[in-house]
Amino acid sequence: MTSNSPNFLLPVPATSLQIPPQAILQNGEQTLRFSLVLPTYNEANNISDIISKLSEILDTEILGEYELLVIDDNSPDRTWEIAQNLIPKYPQLRVMRRETERGLSTAVIRGWQVARGDVLGVIDADLQHPPETLLKLWREIQRGADLATASRHLDSGGVSDWSMIRRVLSRGAQLLGLVLLPEVIGRVSDPMSGYFLVRRNALAGVTMNPLGYKILIEVLGRGNIRWISEVGYVFQERQEGESKVTAKQYIEYIQHLIRLRLSLWPVERFLRFGVVGFSGVFVDMVVLYLLHDGIFNLPLTRSKIIAAEVAIINNFLWNDIWTFGDISTRQRGQRQRIKRFLKFNLICLTGLILNVALLNLLYNLLGINEYLANLMAIGLVTFWNFWINLKLSWRVTEID
């Protein structure tokens, strides 16, 4: 059976959920400009309609340069079979039937893995995502966006007829996401959207690890996405079939947030920062000894100030070369380095003030033993120092 024969079903990739940097082509096949995935589960009554509408719209813009990928999870209503029977009429259509794996997000990724396009997309198959919006999204990508996403929360967007409870749940989920993953959820107005296009480049080689429904969060969290464009749309009422959302999807969403949070936390960097911090303590001690006792006999306070500054310089150099080395090389030049050093110095100084304040608070107000209190204060200040330095001194700038 060849890939052109009507009964051809796409094999399900047996690999991990990694997006290939380049389209994997069978002999004679060409790369396409666009691959749009339609995940389906029991959409027998919608599938012909949506395929026809999408084809009509895309033919006006990129005839012969796109494909539609229906990824069905062995629907009891045989959506996959209906889709398969449409292939002779729509040669740009390809169908995958998954018999073991389940779930919306992994279906989308399996589709992208076999996709031949340079731009990857996803749309619900139940016509709740208006097909007309697709061209607006496509044009945003043509303008240079890495990600173009449809949003219900822009001026031109909305939900047609949602109950109060569903609105509250949806906004609550977004709020929870903002607390747990601000740097991901905060980048778009509608992080729950399942209607978006993304450049393959932005996901090339990335291994996805999603859970449940919200694939956009995964793309924003793990992809290399700089330019984001949003397009408003109104989420339509479902005419046929029913939504698969149950309480399970909400629980999976929370699990997904936590999983992403843990994997995006810069654990390794933080450990390096800690090691450098320790080296600083050692430097501080040695310099203090040399100045105060060893060679110079300087007074204690003066010795300590110099010792602390030497330790700060020591820490800065190691952090600049090692802890944040990958970022420093992107901000080249002596001036940039001096800027980073001055910021680092300032942050360490505020850290010191914070340290003293915390020590006093814990010891005087809470009556905690002073050494234990000092240890706790140092721990907290290390977090502070790390985080603020990451955000200010070695900030990854969007343009480099």
Residues in contact with ligand GDD by CB under 6 A are 39-41, 43, 71-73, 102-104, 107, 124-126, 128, 152, 192-195, 213, 235, 243-245
Q: 118: closest CA among 36, 6, 232?
A: 36
Give min distance, CB of 99 to ligand GDD, in A.
12
Give min distance, CB of 226 to ligand GDD, in A.
23
The token duo for 340 is: 């980073």
Give min distance, CB of 238 to Mn ion, in A.
6
Give min distance, CB of 383 to ligand GDD, in A.
35
Give min distance, CB of 43 to ligand GDD, in A.
5
Q: 54: closest CA among 31, 36, 75, 33?
A: 36
- The site partner of 320 among ligand GDD, Mn ion, none (C-beta below 5 to 8 Å per kind) is none
- Cross-strand pairs, 18: 207
Q: Which stretch binds Mn ion (CB under 5 A): 80-88, 123-131, 330-338, 382-390?
A: 123-131
Give min distance, CB of 215 to ligand GDD, in A.
8
In contact, 43 and 79? CB cutoff 8 Å: yes
**Closer residue to ligand GDD in complex, CB, 23/173:** 173
The token duo for 367 is: 């009556």
The token duo for 400 is: 């480099």
**Closer residue to Mn ion in complex, CB, 126/252:** 126
**Closer residue to ligand GDD in complex, CB, 40/389:** 40
Burial group, residue 168, by CB count within 10 angstroms (0-12, 13-18, 19+): exposed
**Closer residue to Mn ion in complex, CB, 105/303:** 105
Q: Which residue has the tokens 């929370």?
A: 254
- The site partner of 280 among Mn ion, ligand GDD, none (C-beta below 5 to 8 Å per kind) is none
Q: Is 126 in the site for Mn ion (CB under 5 A)?
A: yes
**Closer residue to ligand GDD in complex, CB, 158/266:** 158
The strand pair at 158-159 and 234-235 is best described as parallel
Q: Is 128 in the site for Mn ion (CB under 5 A)?
A: yes
Q: How far apart are the first and last CA of the chain?
A: 49
In contact, 10 and 95? CB cutoff 8 Å: yes
In contact, 117 and 67? CB cutoff 8 Å: yes
**Closer residue to ligand GDD in complex, CB, 48/314:** 48
- Spell out the residues 6+ positions from residue 103 whose beta carbon is closer than 8 angstroms to its own: 73, 211, 212
Q: Which residues bind Mn ion (CB under 5 A)?
A: 124, 126, 128
